[in-house]
Amino acid sequence: MAKENEKRVPKLRFKGFTDDWEQRKLGDTLVELKSGLSRMLSNKDIGVPVIRANNIKNGMLDLKADIKYWYSDDPQGANIENYLVEKENILINFINSESKMGTAAIVREAISRNTIYTTNILKAQTNNDFNSYFWFTLTQTLQYKNSIKMITKPAVNQSSFTTVDFKKLIFAFPILSEQTKIGNFIKLIDNTITLHQRKLAQLEKLKQALLQQMFPKKDETVPKLRFANFNEDWKQRKLGELGESKSGIGFPDEEQGGKKGIPFFKVSDMNNIGNEHEMKNSNNYVDTEQLKKRNWKPIMNVPAVIFAKVGAAIMLNRKRIVRMPFLLDNNTMAYIFDDSWNSDFGKILFETIYLPRYAQVGALPSYNSSDINSVKVFIPNKNEQEKIGVFFKELDNLITVHHHKLDQLKLLKKELLQQMFI
C-alpha cells in the first residue's frame, strides 16, 4: 500500500506530466461492459461472423482463422445490433480456461462487415475521459493479470469471473492527455511488432514454397526450379547409404546442469533462443571428468542433423543442424553425413522429409536407426547441393534475424509496461 505522502506515478513517463495518477474502479471508466450472444454457431457463412475466444490471440484479433457464423436476423428474437463489434471496442475473455482469463484484444480498425461476439466474451467501451488503447494496454500488465487471478473462480472445464467483480477492480489512471500519449506510444510499438510478424510470416511462407519447387516431388527425379547450368537427374538413395543414424544415451539427473565442456543436447534445447535452425547452445554441458567416468563418446563427425526419436515430440517434426562435437540424450537421434553431402543442403533436405510417417506405432511413437536409414531421398551432385545449401542457409539467417528483432521488440514492450504503468 502506498504511503500517505508517496506520489502515485510510474517510474517512466513523458515530459510535461507530473500529476499523481488516480485510483479508479474499472466500472467507472466504462460506458459499456456486456457479454455476447449465446448460440449454437455454424461453420457456414449464414449471416454474420462471430468472434470467439479462439480469435483473441496475443492481444490481437484474428478474423481470418476459425471463424463461426450466425444469422443476421436471430431466429430467437435477439437484436443483433446490440452485439455488433465496432472500432476501439475491447474484447475480454471472461469464461474460458484459466490461462486465458482476462486476455483481451482491441478492435484497431473498423471491421468491413457486421460482426458480433459470443457469450464467453465481454465487450468493453471506455467513456470519454479514458483512452481506449491505454485501457487495452493495461490488460497486458502484470498488475492486471494478478487482479484477474484474484477474481477468477476456477472450474474443471471453464473458469470465469463476474462483471460485478471485474468492475470493482481498481487501477491507477493518469489524466486523459497522458493516457493518450502512452496509448499512442504503445500502439506504435504494437504496430511495429505486427509488421515484423508479417515479414517473418512472409519469409517462412516463401521458404516453404521454395522447398516445394527446389526439391523433386513424388515420382520426379528433378525439381521444377533449379539454378542455371544444372540439368542432371537427381539420384535416389537411402539415407543409410549416405550416412549414419545414431541414437542418444541415458543422461542421469546427477550429471546434468553443467555449464562448460561438451554440449549434451535434449529435445527441449531446440526451444532455446539461438537454436531456431542450428544448435548453438545447450542447457547442459559435461566436462572431461564426466566423459571419462561415464565412458561417454561425443559425436565428433559433424555437421550432423538431430531430431526427436520418441514420444509426442516426434510429431513436431523439428530438425536442427549441429556443427560442434556433442552428446545426445536417449530421446533424440542424430544423422551423421558422409562425404556425399554438402551439410547445409543435407539439413534443408531433412526439412522436406516428414519423419513422423516413419515412426513405429506403440504406446509411444518412436524411430530406430533402421527406420531412418531406410528413408529414400533424391540428391543432386555436390556442386548443385552447395548452391542450394548456401541459398537456404542465407534465407534461414534472414528468418533468424527477423525472429530476433521480434523477440527484442516484445521484450522492450514488456519492460516498458513495467516502467510506464503503476
Domain boundaries, the chain: 22-173, 174-220+383-421, 235-379
Grid cell at residue 389? 545449401
| pLDDT, tens only, 347-364 | 999 999 999 999 988 888
> What is d(CA 79, CA 316) in angstroms, rounded to the nearest whole number?
45
* CATH 1.10.287 assigned to 174-220+383-421: yes
CA dist., res. 224 & res. 233, Å (int): 12
What's the pLDDT score for residue 10? 94
Cα distance between residue 8 and residue 174, in whole Å: 10
CATH fold of 235-379: Adenine-n6-DNA-methyltransferase TaqI; Chain A, domain 2 (3.90.220)
Fold (topology level) of 22-173: Adenine-n6-DNA-methyltransferase TaqI; Chain A, domain 2 (3.90.220)
pLDDT given at position 364: 87
- Residues 6 or more apart from 297 whose CB is under 8 A from it? none
CA 179-183-186 angle, 5° bins: 140
Main-chain dihedrals φ then ψ at residue 72, nearest 5 degrees: -65, -35
pLDDT per residue, tens digit, the chain (422 aa), is 344 445 689 999 999 999 999 999 999 999 999 999 999 999 999 999 999 999 999 899 999 888 999 999 999 999 999 999 999 999 999 999 999 999 999 999 999 999 999 999 999 999 999 999 999 999 999 999 999 999 999 887 889 999 999 999 999 999 999 999 999 999 999 999 999 999 999 999 999 999 999 999 888 999 999 999 999 999 999 999 999 999 999 999 999 999 999 999 999 999 998 898 899 999 999 999 999 999 999 999 999 999 999 999 999 999 999 999 999 999 999 999 999 999 999 999 999 999 999 998 888 889 999 999 999 999 999 999 999 999 999 999 999 899 999 999 999 999 999 999 99
Q: Can you tell me the distance from the alpha carbon of 107 to that of 166, in angstroms, rounded to the nearest whole number?
A: 20
Domains 22-173 and 235-379 share a fold: yes
Please write the tens of the pLDDT for every residue from 84-120: 999 999 999 999 999 999 999 999 999 999 999 999 9
The overall pTM is greater than 0.95:
no
Judged on CB neighbours under 10 Å (0-12, 13-18, 19+), 122 is buried
